[in-house]
Amino acid sequence: MKHDIHIIGGGLAGSEAAWQLAQRGVRVKLSEMRGAGHMTPAHQSDGLAELVCSNSFRSDDDEKNAVGLLHHEMRRMDSLVMRAGEVARVPAGSAMAVDRDVFSAEVEKALTQHPNITVVRELVDTLPQDGPVIVATGPLTAAALADSIGALTGADSLAFFDAIAPIVHRDSIDMSKAWIQSRWNKRTAASNEDGDYINCPMTKEQYLAFHQGLMDAEKGEFKEWEADTPYFDGCMPIEVMAERGVETLRYGPMKGVGLDNPYDTSEEHPQGKWPYAVVQLRQDNKLGTLWNMVGFQTKMKYGAQVELFRTIPGLENAEFARLGGMHRNTFINSPKLLDRQLRLRTASHIRFAGQMTGCEGYVESAAVGLLAGVMAATELAGENWEAPPRTSAMGALLSHITGDAEASSFQPMNVNFGLFPPLHKVPKKQRKEAYTSRAKEDFGGWLATLDGIPA
């Protein structure tokens, strides 16, 4: 079958994009290297949309949870991933978990039986020079194709250990114990009025206890296939730094010099009331709702992170939009390289979708694939594309990928309410419901403008 668009990668994003295009009458060629004598270190089969880690799509609560809201929006757009998920669903309380074999089989059956889709088992080594293309090869993109992408985007390398520091919701930080200040009060044209960092001070006793906590915490291990992947610049795990000596962190990311602690009433600091140690948080998005813990990339297990980081003064009740981590990943600097329609600025016939764009998680990957498919179908039909509202889960995720995030520090992100335009006037206890209520109303209005999709 002659195709109208070529999708490279048969994971969640590629499968969802293919479905959305085919349902709109577009003829799709879907290339997947598994099944053609090639395999990734993480996959176990050649099934389309294989889930390689957890079998959970996380919370299905669309009233108080951002990923549950994303489920809701995807269902309204006839998502194949959500369709197959319902068929393969297994008991998991308020979460949505699936039998991974049933799920993959359902996706594969839907795609291979669709008259507008041709699934080809082949390895694609280079990016096509012309014709509409969606690249959805995920975090384990084959080396030759990754090199081709790197050559086109100007990236030196796309495979590295990305340093993920924890991200905290701003309104969960206790500002009666923390304060805002830039070190030495240095300012730039982009600085906030009071300073660029939230500072959480530690006494000597608190620091020593924290250091010991880092030494004792349960850590994850690198997988065998990750062993030869180089660290990205400046991404040394905080617990590795701690192992180098008890004072190492105080002369690294936790140094207190140049910061005057307004809560220190002692008279013992002639050079200024510098804390013994400090944990700094830096604004992570333009809305100011998310702040990341500077230099706190880690391989500690998630439970250990929450327990230890909540011992930091000011973070006792911290709510984390994302916990820290370090793992092999392949993604592009989307805010710099992609336009608002996920097209490569230097080669507009190429779109990217899924984890390659810097979204994190099964559902987010599929959602970006869904959007890429609808965008491409709209373009092929000669129609104008209007992005979903930023107040919706899809719109917030798309905005983060294509412009809201800072390109210089861009890292993969799960969908969370910190990506949404804030509702400061709504009481905190009612805020999550307010986010979802606003999103559903705005998303429904947007859907009504798209041909062929029921509102």
Q: Report DSSP state, residue 34.
A: B
Q: What are phi and psi of 73, to 5 degrees?
A: -65, -40
Give the chain's mean pLDDT.
87
Q: Pick 19 or 408 by higher pLDDT.
A: 19
Q: Mean of the pLDDT values across residues 312-325?
A: 92
Domain 164-326 has what CATH class? mainly beta
Predicted confidence at residue 223, as pLDDT, reads 55
> pLDDT tens across 178-227, in order?
999 988 887 665 567 788 889 999 999 999 999 999 999 987 665 544 45
Q: Is the pLDDT assigned to residue 113 strictly greater than 90?
A: yes
d(C-alpha 165, C-alpha 220), whole Å: 15
Q: At what angle do helices 66-76 and 428-447 cross, to 10 degrees?
A: 20
14 is in an annotated binding site: yes
5-158+331-447 and 164-326, same CATH topology:
no
13 is in an annotated binding site: yes
10 is in an annotated binding site: yes
Q: Is the pLDDT assigned to residue 156 strictly greater than 60?
A: no
Residue ranges per domain, the chain? Answer: 5-158+331-447, 164-326
> pLDDT tens across 46-67, in order?
899 998 766 789 899 999 999 9
Q: Is the dihedral of CA 240, 245, 246, 251 positive or negative?
A: negative
Q: Pick 13 or 38 by higher pLDDT.
A: 13
- Strands of the sheet containing 167-169, edge to edge, are 179-180, 197-202, 277-283, 290-293, 167-169, 320-322
Predicted confidence at residue 454, as pLDDT, reads 46
d(C-alpha 450, C-alpha 395), whole Å: 15
- Here the tokens at position 192 are 């906030």
CATH of domain 5-158+331-447: 3.50.50.60
